[in-house]
Structure 1
Amino acid sequence: MIQNEMSRRRLLGLGVGLGAAATLTLAGCGGGSSTKGSTAAGNGGKEYTGPKVDLKLWNGFTGGDGDIFKKLVEQFNSEHQNIAISVITYEWQDYYSKLPGAVSSGNGPDIAVMHMDQLATFAARGVITELDDVAKTLQLSEGDFAPTVWKGGLYHDKRYGIPLDMHPLGFYYNKAVMQKAGLDPNKPPATKDEYTAALTELKKSGVQGFWVSPFQFTGGMTFYSLLHQWGGTLFDGEVAKATFNSDPAVEACTWLVDMIKQGFSPANVGQDADYLALKSGKNAFNWNGIWQINDLKKSAGLEWGVAPLPQIGSQKAAWANSHNFTIVKQRSADNNKVSGAKVFINWLSEHSLDWAKGGQIPARKEVREGAEFKALPEISALAPELEYAAFPPASPGLGEVMVTFYNAFNEAALGKKSPKQALDDGVAKANKQLEDNRKKYGS
């Protein structure tokens, strides 16, 4: 794969961690006092009958999903003569860095696509506006979505995001490599015992079947999933203290490190080498994001499958993130633009089946349960993970803390520290960061 595309894919799900540089410049953004269009012809997203409005929409969809997104916007524009959406696309990392300054200077977008775990930070700094009226008018409720995704759009019991999708970690397997080792290529391991047994058979055939990456993409996300599978959490209920050095967390981390020690994985796996090894037949299993499905479909001759993550711990869990639509506060609010933006958000949410083809699980329940979505076999195979997806809590400034979490795993995976020591050291640093966040953002 071209390196630029690999970099984009690594950033696709990376809501947490990307906004760290932006948080320092967020104060004072948005919230002007003057208002235009105070008698806007809108009703919370059902329709807009006012004068034509031109809206800017920022997003980070730079790959094939971006093409699908732009086509959907073009369709919306053709169906709404009084609303014109122009799409501005950045790499996610640049996007989150540019947004605060653009809003502060009055040059920000009207609509912004935002990862779920960024909502709290941007809401706390007044960059995005509340959307409770949209949910109420459109009669949207938790029952229309998966509870985890719906609740992720809340901050201080107010809604700031309307969920569009969910993108989880999935379990990819190379059927040809499995078959050569005497394994059933159509029955991927689903439990800890099955997983260990499969790796043992692969090792006998000369294959290190599960390459453990020390990097966030994808080893850190795998550890994130396993920590929750073992019943652990990253933070306490108030997000005041880090807890990713608990006994369950250490056990999950140790299991992954043991994969290396027992020879099921090579040591010092390079960035993306685990995924490239799956494609080239050098390993059998890879825990990676749903966004890899469309890339694998382009790999001629590759026999592969995808399934929900195996349950290694005591319960099912999977790392996941979600794209949400937000409306950006302006220095001079224009109620007509806000009304038009709400219509667009509702429209695209209703058309999330088309968006699913870009490699996303629709947030709307009725779309997920429809025959057309189920006819997308690879993507719909990961839909069950929505019910037990592990999302980060809604806490502002969490990006830097999550980087500390992933760095702690990196030290353990590279053998620089024992799992216990690496996680203890990470928690000590994370607690200081959480304390700084309380001072910066308030409780």
Structure 2
Amino acid sequence: MTRRNLLGLGLGAGSAALLAACGDSGPNEKVTGANQNAGPAATEYSGPNVALAFWNGFTGGDGPFMKKLVDQFNSEHPNIKVTMNVYQWADYYQKVPAAVSTGNGPDLGIMHVDQVATQAARGVVLPLEDLAKTLNLTEADFSPPVWNAGVYNGTRYAIPLDVHPLGMFYNKTVLESAGLDPAKPPANKDEYANALDKLKAKGIQGHWATPFPFTGQMQFSALLWQHGGDLFDAQGTKPLFAEQPGVQALTWLTDLVKNGYSPKNVAQDADVVALRNGKAAFNWNGIWSINTFNQDKALQWGVAALPQIGSQPGAWAGSHQFVQFKQKTKDDNKLAAGKVFINWLSQHSIEWAKGGQVPARKSIRESAEFTALTEQAAIGTQIDYLRFLPATPGIPDVMATVDTAINEAILLRKEPAAALADAAGKAQKLLDANRKKYGA
């Protein structure tokens, strides 16, 4: 696993390919009238036999966990046959819009939350308001950030399956070598600074600052939110990341390099390798790293919530969300059966958690089974202060400007304020262009 595909994680680079797959002439026909979802019957399906095509991008270690769940569902629902097709996420976000536009799309699938608004605006995905109402689902069944992230223009288009937040992974052996207690990892700015100083005194650069979107952009976003800022306004019409909180966040990262806590010019994934090789103590990375580290039997490691560097808690996260796709011809039986599958999988997401995720459903997170997954539970404590991009079509592409600013600053080619200001100017032009492109 060391690196997930940038587009698959909802980051900026590569999203233009997604739009190209649908053409650049503007949004697809709006999903209204005959194209709307079928009515209720989300908890059980008693209609004729149906076959459902379920597409996702779970090509890594999480894939077998999803396949096991699909097989279990099929065994319990003889009148529904779900077939799972798996693609690399970059291919997935090209194939799905293209298939839907020709009337050959899958019936349902998984989508990263940052992509939902774009696909909704283009008419690729269908509203799921009826499913939420039938099951009486509300944000209290999940958590406000992840539940609200599936809404675009006042309509729900996605039901959350999980969140995959950033956490602080640490090498216990390295901490002990600097006289630090691995049972008490740093939880705030002062404790983190103290740990980095002790590590530096032992010749260890404790936190390698990566200039790449994966995971430099994720770390910057978390620090920005911790300092009280935001990437964009709520409507996604104006960049805010160049304001003081953003400058503070990026300055903290660049100071890791300037103060010798990180080497210069860290290569892609070198920060993860350094943790595993005992050359670094900390690595802020995604929850998907759990199973990777578990495979390294010689590594003594732990994971905790991100330390609070700013004035408030905050963490970057992605989220896999269920969607149903627009069909050439509406089939009420398929739509109803698809909702049964979505509901069933959500209720059985403890098995998905074992693949290295935090279940979105609150009842699953509060279960004894999830608590027993020590590492996932530790990262999951952040769920109520996770943040997501605004539900604005095309906004993942705009994040490419932020990626450039982070790269320039951490490589010490530009001061943080200047890098962010330049990026904000470019971001504003892209946001304005997107409003015209998507008819917002």
Q: What TM-score results when the alignment is normalised by the length of structure 2?
A: 0.96
| Cα deviation digits, residues 212-236 of structure 1 (max 9, x gap) | 0000111221011001111111112
**1:355 pairs with 2:355:** no
Please give the alpha-carbon distance, in whole angstroms, between the structure 2 residues aligned to 1:68 and 1:245.
40
**1:194 pairs with 2:191:** yes
User: What residue number does 2:322 align with?
Assistant: 325
**1:87 pairs with 2:88:** no
User: What residue number does 2:94 align with?
Assistant: 97
- 1:166 partner amino acid: V
1:104-143 aligned at under 5 Å gives the runs 104-143=101-140
User: What residue number does 2:420 align with?
Assistant: 423
**1:13 pairs with 2:9:** yes
- Contact 1:16–1:117 (8 Å) recurs in 2: no
Please give the alpha-carbon distance, in whole angstroms, between the structure 1 residues aligned to 2:28 and 2:78.
31
Identity of aligned residues (%): 55
User: What residue number does 1:407 align with?
Assistant: 404
* Structure 1 segments unaligned to the other structure (5+ residues): none
Q: Over aligned residues, Cα RMSD in angstroms?
A: 1.8
- Residue 319 of structure 1 aligns to a residue whose secondary structure is strand
- Residue 204 of structure 2 aligns to a residue whose secondary structure is coil
1:172-211 aligned at under 5 Å gives the runs 172-211=169-208
- 1:298 partner amino acid: Q
Distance 1:116 1:44, change over 3 A: farther
Please give the alpha-carbon distance, in whole angstroms, between the structure 1 residues aligned to 2:224 and 2:34.
48
**1:225 pairs with 2:251:** no
Distance 1:257 1:15, change over 3 A: closer
Distance 1:102 1:29, change over 3 A: farther
User: What residue number does 2:300 align with?
Assistant: 303
User: What residue number does 1:23 align with?
Assistant: 19
Please give the alpha-carbon distance, in whole angstroms, between the structure 1 residues aligned to 2:383 and 2:31.
38
Query: What is the deviation of 1:421?
Result: 0.8
- Contact 1:254–1:419 (8 Å) recurs in 2: yes
The match for 1:258 among 255, 270, 295 is 255
Distance 1:339 1:193, change over 3 A: same
| Cα deviation digits, residues 4-29 of structure 1 (max 9, x gap) | x4344666533554533212443565
Please give the alpha-carbon distance, in whole angstroms, between the structure 2 residues aligned to 1:441 and 1:53.
34
Please give the alpha-carbon distance, in whole angstroms, between the structure 2 residues aligned to 1:307 and 1:123.
35
Query: What is the deviation of 1:256?
Result: 0.8
Query: What is the deviation of 1:142?
Result: 1.0
Query: What is the deviation of 1:44?
Result: 3.7
Distance 1:33 1:318, change over 3 A: closer
- 1:58 partner amino acid: W
- Contact 1:18–1:399 (8 Å) recurs in 2: no
- 1:275 partner amino acid: V
Distance 1:262 1:78, change over 3 A: same
Distance 1:433 1:106, change over 3 A: same
User: What residue number does 1:365 align with?
Assistant: 362
- Residue 358 of structure 1 aligns to a residue whose secondary structure is coil
- 2:207 partner amino acid: F
Please give the alpha-carbon distance, in whole angstroms, between the structure 1 residues aligned to 2:8 and 2:103.
27
1:276-295 aligned at under 5 Å gives the runs 276-295=273-292
User: What residue number does 2:52 align with?
Assistant: 55
Distance 1:15 1:407, change over 3 A: closer
Query: What is the deviation of 1:416?
Result: 1.4
Please give the alpha-carbon distance, in whole angstroms, between the structure 2 residues aligned to 1:142 and 1:34.
27
Please give the alpha-carbon distance, in whole angstroms, between the structure 1 residues aligned to 2:139 and 2:110.
20
- Contact 1:241–1:434 (8 Å) recurs in 2: yes
- Contact 1:44–1:138 (8 Å) recurs in 2: no
- Residue 330 of structure 2 aligns to a residue whose secondary structure is strand
Query: What is the deviation of 1:211?
Result: 0.1
- Contact 2:10–2:396 (8 Å) recurs in 1: no
Please give the alpha-carbon distance, in whole angstroms, between the structure 2 residues aligned to 1:103 and 1:116.
19
Query: What is the deviation of 1:139?
Result: 1.0
* Structure 2 segments unaligned to the other structure (5+ residues): none
**1:242 pairs with 2:245:** no
Query: What is the deviation of 1:321?
Result: 1.0
1:65-80 aligned at under 5 Å gives the runs 65-80=62-77
Query: What is the deviation of 1:439?
Result: 0.4
- Contact 2:11–2:400 (8 Å) recurs in 1: no
Query: What is the deviation of 1:239?
Result: 1.6
- Residue 287 of structure 1 aligns to a residue whose secondary structure is strand
- 2:2 partner amino acid: M
Please give the alpha-carbon distance, in whole angstroms, between the structure 1 residues aligned to 2:420 and 2:358.
32
Query: What is the deviation of 1:176?
Result: 0.3
**1:340 pairs with 2:312:** no
Please give the alpha-carbon distance, in whole angstroms, between the structure 2 residues aligned to 1:125 and 1:336.
24
The match for 1:390 among 384, 387, 395 is 387
Please give the alpha-carbon distance, in whole angstroms, between the structure 2 residues aligned to 1:286 and 1:198.
13
Distance 1:316 1:90, change over 3 A: same
- Contact 1:9–1:291 (8 Å) recurs in 2: no
Please give the alpha-carbon distance, in whole angstroms, between the structure 2 residues aligned to 1:32 and 1:51.
26
- Residue 382 of structure 2 aligns to a residue whose secondary structure is helix
| Cα deviation digits, residues 173-192 of structure 1 (max 9, x gap) | 10000100111111111111
- Residue 383 of structure 2 aligns to a residue whose secondary structure is helix
Please give the alpha-carbon distance, in whole angstroms, between the structure 1 residues aligned to 2:410 and 2:41.
49
Please give the alpha-carbon distance, in whole angstroms, between the structure 1 residues aligned to 2:113 and 2:181.
38
Comparing 14-23 and 131-140, the one that deviates more: 14-23
- Contact 2:30–2:122 (8 Å) recurs in 1: no
Q: What TM-score results when the alignment is normalised by the length of structure 1?
A: 0.95
